[in-house]
Chains A and B, each alone.
Chain A
Amino acid sequence: AQSVTQLGSHVSVSEGALVLLRCNYSSSVPPYLFWYVQYPNQGLQLLLKYTTGATLVKGINGFEAEFKKSETSFHLTKPSAHMSDAAEYFCAVSMDYKLSFGAGTTVTVRA
């Protein structure tokens, strides 16, 4: 069975600072990996996904994530936070046609 661990349920950053959200997965084979974002009172939107190939994946809104097989990690970063990045972020892993989600990390951005 797949599991996804997101380290830190809340992250607070200053506007313009680096955003780093951590995600580790458990899998015996390289899975498909996703990051989703949920803005207040909305459903989830896809930020980016890793399937195969390049280990650095670029997504929307300036986010990117790096797949590290040796560390079973898929951390999400953005070099410079914007107020509009305040949201909840979910890491997810797909296998056997099902998507398993982490518990989520809420990002607040301080002016």
Chain B
Amino acid sequence: DVKVTQSSRYLVKRTGEKVFLECVQDMDHENMFWYRQDPGLGLRLIYFSYDVKMKEKGDIPEGYSVSREKKERFSLILESASTNQTSMYLCASSFGQGADNSPLHFGNGTRLTVT
């Protein structure tokens, strides 16, 4: 079974802090994704990566950056956390270089609160 592990289940940070959200997958998947989930808005794509050291902007990249130094790890970085970044963050991975029909495998999410 594919396992996608997010390092923190709950996180509380202060406005202006630099925040790192870590995600690791154990199935050698090429593609990795970061989404944020907000009530009534569904999931919105922040960034994705389909290879090591490669990254692509999603629909809402502003205020975020990512890092993918190793194939199994994809980090989301909030350079200066703001209260409007309080949300549930979901990491996902999928097989196949840019394959459209590969399902995503999700982690359990990190609920971030910025005060």
Contacts and interface: CB of A to CB of B under 8 A. Distances in A.
Interface string B11-43: 000000000000000000001010100001111
Interface string B39-51: 0111111001010
B31 to A, nearest CB: 7
B106 A44 contact: yes
Contacts of B59: 100
B40 A103 contact: yes
Interface of B: 4, 31, 33, 35, 40-45, 48, 50, 58-59, 90, 92, 98-101, 103-109
Nearest first, the 3 closest Cβ-Cβ pairs linking A and B are: A43-B106, A97-B98, A101-B43
Interface in A45-95: 45-46, 49, 51, 90, 94-95
A9 interface: yes
A101 B44 CA distance: 7
Interface residues of A, number: 26
Interface of A: 6, 9, 31-32, 34, 36, 41-46, 49, 51, 90, 94-104
Contacts of A6: 42
B109 A99 contact: no
Given A41-B108, A97-B50, A103 B42 contact: yes
